[in-house]
Structures are given as C-alpha cells and as structure tokens.
Amino acid sequence: MKKLNVKNIMSEEGRFVAILEETVEESFAKTLKDGGRMLVDSDDLAFVYIIEDDSTLYYVCFSQPTWVTLNEIVSKEETLSLQLHENIHIQLESIVTELAFLTENIEGNSNYGEEMERAVEEVFHS
C-alpha cells in the first residue's frame, strides 16, 4: 500500500480540490479510481481515503492542517476531487458520508486514542 499525502485543499471556481505533496506520473494517475472508503490513522492524526487501481489500494492521507477545510466540505455537503496530475482528478464520491460517520463515531470514543478524539472534537464538533 502506497501512501499519498494531501498538502492542502484549495477552493477553485466553487469546488474543492485536494493537492498532493507527491508528484504522480500521468500514466499511473490514469489507472487510479475512487475506492469509496475511509479509515482513521490515530497514530499520525489523519483521515485516510482509499483510492485504487486493479490490484492495489493507495492511502490518501488528510493530516490535521486539512481538517478545517474537510469540516467545511462535510458541513456544506460539498464535493472534493483529488488532483493526481495536471489534468487528472478523481472525484472522492464518499468523502462527506464517510467523514461524517467517522467523526461522529470518534466523538466520545477513546478507542481512537485520547489525542485523536480531542483533535477531532476541536475541529468537527466545536
């Protein structure tokens, strides 16, 4: 499993676009598609969206600096696409429902660790 880190989320022409820290080759970017699932990385305080190709899962990591914008996307039920290459984007179709479910589940749930629970409550439930 390869990890791709989101550097920031930009608002462009009324839509949100996640920009990666890493450069993705165009030929590779064309093989990727939405995985429709999200996980929590409590150790690194990140939400992880799954994208995939025909044989492998890839983790798109949204660290704490992106959470304020993620919260805006969830609360306004906006769309978010992931820019993989200059003109190649994947629509993260399940981001709102998955993130809303996870943040609701984390609230008051120490199974995710106190630090993760506190960080999520500060951004998503304040």
Domain ranges of the chain: 2-124
Q: What is the pTM for the complete model shown?
A: 0.94
User: Residue 67's closest CA among 57, 80, 55?
Assistant: 80
Candidate from 9-23, 59-73, 93-107 with smallest mean pLDDT? 9-23
User: Residue 100's closest CA among 70, 74, 126, 80?
Assistant: 74
Q: How far is CA 65 from CA 2, 35, 45, 61, 70, in A?
A: 21, 23, 10, 11, 10
pLDDT for the residue numbered 14: 77
**120: buried, middle or exposed (CB in 10 Å: 19+, 13-18, 0-12)?**
buried
Does the structure show a pLDDT above 80 at 126?
A: no
Does the structure show a pLDDT above 90 at 78?
A: yes
User: Do 31 and 85 meet the contact criterion of CB atoms below 8 Å apart?
Assistant: no
Give me the chain's average pLDDT, please.
95
